[in-house]
Chain A
Amino acid sequence: MGDWEPKSGRTLKRRRSSGGSTKEVAPKPIKAPAFRALVVDNGAYTIKVGFTTEEEPQVVPNCIMKAKSEKKRLFVGKQIEECRDCSGLYFLLPCEKGYITRWEVQKPVWDHVFSRSVCTIDENPVVITQPLFNFKSIQDCMDEVFFEEYEVSSLFRCTPTDLAYLNYAKHNKLTKSDACLVMDSGFSFTHIVPYVRGSKFLRGVRRVNVGGKLLTNHLKDIISYRQYNVMEETYVINQVKEDTGYVCADVKKELAEASKPFGSNSIVKNYVLPDFNVIRRGYIQETKPENPSEVEESYQVLRLNNERFVVPEILFHPSDIGMKSMGIAEAVVKSIMSTPKEHRQSLAKNIIMVGGNCKFPGFKERMYAELRSLLPDAWQLGLFQHADPITYPWKGGSALLRTHDFRNNLVSKQDYEELGSTLIQERFNNFMLDSRQLDQEDETGKHSTEFQYLSKLKSASIFGKQEVSAADSDIQIDSKAVETAALDKEDVGAEEAGQDAEGNKRGKSRNKALEETEVAADVEAESSEEDLTESPSLFPLGCASYL
């Protein structure tokens, strides 16, 4: 428990301010930030980089690429624009499951990003994003690179969801009582993070292991099985996904439409693949699919039908490819229901959706329909999606500079040298985190209620169209489930008490003022020791050997 206890005057000060100051963006006599900062949203697929004084960031691929056609050079980040032939492009990616593990890739990409060709580091602070619970040794390396080699004057790290939240809070003039939920659906995974009283509510955080990379790889697989072998064409098929993919409202209806013959089928499209001679990027052929025009006859054409909408379905139903995990809408509901009761409706009203997967046409509408059917009918539901969900978190950088917590916790080079990595990383990791809520753990289970959305699920079609009857709209409490959950929780609690009785006592007295939290989530989290995606059972779609 030690790390969460105040150790010095400095930490105490930070704690006190961490409650609400992050939200006080508009009124109060806060001086406009005296400095600008270089904001780096370090995504696993693209880096969004630029100064807070700029309108838009530059978006740079976070990878090194090798082309079959050019064996004399490598393409780092933006240099891919200079590559003539992008067929069979080979990717060196810095991240594994969204976390940097290949420094031999990340470092050269950063060197490129901070060179004159993109954006050079100056005397201003650098803000770089990291995933929630970024691993310690990754943070150690980031510290060394930025402080020792790049010699930044000061550094700050937070999560992309923090930035998205701050951006949204600033623009909507949210107050402390407005809870928000950020869903970030990116390349490696989808994170769902509820913010309660300006802090992340950790027991409500969820990660769905479905991201854009998995969708592209799945599309590659089914096209390779059905039409052409495109297993080596990740770059091109990713563009096919971006250009043709969409989220439908009702899968059954959509499949019925897709099964119609060519002339009357509104879904089937021919996609002209790039030849990297005349056509640099592929496109949907607008002529009637049954008679391709003369000009295009010499090009390779991919026919896309149900692939267009079945692939993005995996976000909502990972079970389509044999993963047991819940989909993103179900996980949002689970996340909301894991927070204290009085915040749930506010969370449902302020759902912020960011990340590349939100760009699928129909994504927001489907998300709305799914959430609408799973949440109580009386609740207001508010979904927000910016026109550019990829750069939205980056744009929260300027809001970040206005927060007290940022200024109090910015780490200077001197701090780095004097305090050491553990202390400075605590400043980063505790940003927008109310450590008191973690102590609630031992109090939970006593007054918790579980919202049963399963009963609603039974009446809803699993193919997207939601059929909710009025009778299902009430919140139903399954008292038996709650009792069992509470019992399980008490066992765990007793064990912990034995290990750290004093800490628990301290936690309990403080908890009096705080709300009870959901218990079911905690209990389930503890039993899910294994990565579900890695221990799946039966898989309905093909296998790993390709034609």
Chain B
Amino acid sequence: MTLPKTVPRGSNRIKENDKRRIIDETQRKRRQRKVMEMLESDNYHDDPHADLVMSKKAPKFEDSLEQRNVRTKKKERTVDYYQFKYRKNFHQLVDEDRAESEAKQRPSYMDIQAEESQIPPRHFCAVCGFLGQYSCLSCGTRYCSLRCMETHMDTRCLKWAA
């Protein structure tokens, strides 16, 4: 496999610090939500077969499957049958669970979520991963040194403060 190398752009930073926008609390929250979405995601890229989907070339599940020894052939369902019948997104499921848990007086999915930590957060430099005692004035991101700050300013911070 050949991977593109990440090039830190530390030198050609625009010296316009005072013009940088400060990202407010709402934007920071939105940014954090996006990070959590990324950490929750199954893939970062597009389906490599996406361009095949509409054509007959697209592989079907049936082609990839060995025969299961079904006792009654007629009971076999198509791949889409269950998805169509039981399709529900996660939020619907959580809402239904809440209603059910109230009726049964048991804790719900949301109730068993661990509480906020009582331990103060630690701070790591977003650039190099070592301890980061300073935070970016624009976005609050942690950094450890002038060098890491410059890298941060030129890369991830810029995308948000521009």
Q: Identify the A interface with B (CB < 8 A).
A: 1-4, 64, 66-68, 71-76, 79, 87-88, 90-93, 96-97, 99, 101-104, 107-108, 111-112, 114-117, 120, 132-133, 135-138, 140-141, 144-145, 148-151, 192, 202-203, 205-209, 213-214, 217-218, 220-222, 224-234, 236, 251-252, 255, 258-259, 273-276, 300, 305-307, 310, 317-327, 330-331, 334, 438-439, 441, 453-454, 457, 462-463, 524-526, 528-545, 547
Contact A207 B65, CB 8 Å, known A102-B83, A220-B44, A539-B32: no
**Which of B32, B49, B128 counts the most A-chain CB atoms under 10 A from its CB?**
B32
Q: How far is the CA of A79 from the CA of B66 in the complex (A)?
A: 11
Please tell me if the beta carbons of A528 and B110 are within 8 angstroms of each other in the complex.
yes
Q: Which residues of B contact A233 (CB under 8 A)?
A: 1, 3
Q: Which residues of B contact A306 (CB under 8 A)?
A: 128-130
**Which of B31, B101, B112 counts the most A-chain CB atoms under 10 A from its CB?**
B112
Q: Does B137 contact A (CB under 8 A)?
A: no
Shortest A513–chain B CB gap in Å is 19
Cβ-defined partner of B108 (8 Å) among A133, A208, A453, A454: A133
Please tell me if the beta carbons of A87 and B1 are within 8 angstroms of each other in the complex.
yes
Cβ-defined partner of B115 (8 Å) among A439, A528, A535: A528
Q: How far is the CA of A205 from the CA of B112 in the complex (A)?
A: 6
Please tell me if the beta carbons of A533 and B36 are within 8 angstroms of each other in the complex.
yes
Range of interface residues on B (Cβ < 8 Å): 35 or more
Contact A536 B42, CB 8 Å, known A104-B79, A206-B114: no
Q: Identify the B interface with A (CB < 8 A).
A: 1-6, 25, 28-29, 31-45, 47-49, 52, 57, 59, 61, 63-72, 75-77, 79-80, 82-83, 85-90, 93-94, 96-97, 100-101, 103-124, 126-132, 135, 139-142, 155-156, 159-160
Q: Which residues of A contact B106 (CB under 8 A)?
A: 133, 202, 438
Cβ-defined partner of B113 (8 Å) among A91, A462, A528: A528
Cβ-defined partner of B86 (8 Å) among A140, A218, A230, A321: A140
Q: Which residues of B contact A74 (CB under 8 A)?
A: 59, 61, 63-64
Shortest A19–chain B CB gap in Å is 18
Please tell me if the beta carbons of B4 and A229 are within 8 angstroms of each other in the complex.
yes
Q: How far is the CA of A203 from the CA of B132 in the complex (A)?
A: 38
Q: How far is the CA of A330 from the CA of B115 in the complex (A)?
A: 10
Please tell me if the beta carbons of A132 and B6 are within 8 angstroms of each other in the complex.
no
Please tell me if the beta carbons of A226 and B128 are within 8 angstroms of each other in the complex.
yes
Please tell me if the beta carbons of B119 and A218 are within 8 angstroms of each other in the complex.
no
Please tell me if the beta carbons of B160 and A107 are within 8 angstroms of each other in the complex.
no
Give me the 5 closest cross-chain CB pairs, A-B, nearest first.
Answer: A544-B34, A103-B82, A539-B32, A319-B121, A228-B3
Q: Which residues of A contact B140 (CB under 8 A)?
A: 538-540
Q: Which residues of A contact B142 (CB under 8 A)?
A: 540-541
Q: Which residues of A contact B38 (CB under 8 A)?
A: 217, 221, 544
Please tell me if the beta carbons of B107 and A137 are within 8 angstroms of each other in the complex.
no
Q: How far is the CA of A87 from the CA of B1 in the complex (A)?
A: 7
